[in-house]
Amino acid sequence: MLTVASIAGLMMLGWPLLLDVPESARVDPPFIFPALLPLVIVVVLAEFSEGGMDARVLAVLGVLSAINAVLRGPGAGVAGIELVFFLLILAGRVFGPAFGFVLGCTSLFASALMTGGVGPWLPFQMLVSAWIGMGAGFLPRRLTGRVELAALVVYGIVASYLFGILMNLSSWPFTLGIAVQGHEGSLSYVAGAPLLENLHRFGVYTLLTSTGSWDTGRAITTSIALIVLGPAILTTLRRASRRSVISRVPGVS
């Protein structure tokens, strides 16, 4: 189910780069994908709730989703101040990729309801945040101590920049409008242009609009939060994780 959701998300994000469209054709955003993605996410949540999570883990999921929603309220990414990803990364690290995926979805959905941030961008934010939580769960388990914390910081920096890149890709074809073939010097998406040409335009657009500002601020905020709060939160989450595992062993209270 994670694979199905991720493939659907990649199609939703990358479709403009794969189209072969005549110059005179009109290109509209694929509204069908934002409509289908929440349904896929609901199926994923149902699968996990039926067999992959016990009552205590579900309770932890609810608490962490609420905390992330509150943390996102003051900043909501303004000037790169983003307080959601550090907790998402730590939870994915402790509880695994499936939990991280679900927490990424629920955190962004809850924060959007609280801050009035519901819009066509929300499915993209939910999916990319889900990937960030899932990726943290795939980090090597043998890492411990300072090495583990350093790995989480590096991952947080990479994830912060990837979040900005993927969110830019979701809106870039429509933010600047659709350019025509042969229009030199434009950063707009060119329908039907070769893949490398559009990738070059998108790379320059991302570098100028977010990489040096929003994304860097997000990376700094996430890194500081992981360094300062990471060890204590990891200990707390691991204690909760051990209790959840014990509760599933027959005869052990």
245-249: average pLDDT:
42
Name which residue leads in pLDDT, 192 or 28: 192
For residues 124 and 34, give the distance between their C-alpha atoms in angstroms, rounded to a whole number.
8
206-221: average pLDDT:
85
CB 16 within 8 A of CB 27: yes
* Closest CA relative to residue 193, chosen from 174, 168, 184, 29: 184
Express each pLDDT in 130-158 by its tens digit: 899 999 999 998 998 999 999 999 999 99
What pLDDT is attached to residue 78?
A: 58
What pLDDT is attached to residue 233?
A: 93
Report the percent of the chain where pLDDT is more than 70.
Answer: 71
Concatenate the DSSP letters of all residues of the chain into one string. -HHHHHHHHHHHHHHHHH----TT------THHHHHHHHHHHHHHHHIIIII--HHHHHHHHHHHHHHHHHHHHHTTGGG---SHHHHHHHHHHH-HHHHHHHHHHHHHHHHHHHT--STTHHHHHHHHHHHHHHHHTS-TT--HHHHHHHHHHHHHHHHHHHHHHHHHHHHHHHS-EEPTT-TT--SEETT--HHHHHHHHHHHHIIIIIIIIIHHHHHHHHHHHHHHHHHHHHHHHHHHHHHHHTTSTT--
What pLDDT is attached to residue 177?
A: 58
2-18: average pLDDT:
75
Position 216 pLDDT exceeds 80: yes
For residues 195 and 190, give the distance between their C-alpha atoms in angstroms, rounded to a whole number.
10
Mean pLDDT, rounded, of the chain? 78
Range of 184-193, 214-223, 239-248 with top mean pLDDT: 214-223
Q: Give residue limits of the domains in the chain.
A: 2-246
One-letter amino acid of 67? I
CA 21 from chain centre, in angstroms, equals: 30
For residues 95 and 224, give the distance between their C-alpha atoms in angstroms, rounded to a whole number.
22
Q: Backbone phi, then psi, for 60, in 5-degree steps? A: -60, -40
What count of other Cβ atoms lies within 10 Å of the Cβ of residue 193? Answer: 22
pTM over 0.85: no
163-189: average pLDDT:
71
> Hey, what CATH class is 2-246 in?
mainly alpha
Q: Residue 179 pairs with which residues in a beta bridge?
A: 190
CB 104 within 8 A of CB 98: no
Express each pLDDT in 84-116 by its tens digit: 899 999 999 998 888 888 888 888 888 888 776
Q: Residue 202 pairs with which residues in a beta bridge?
A: none
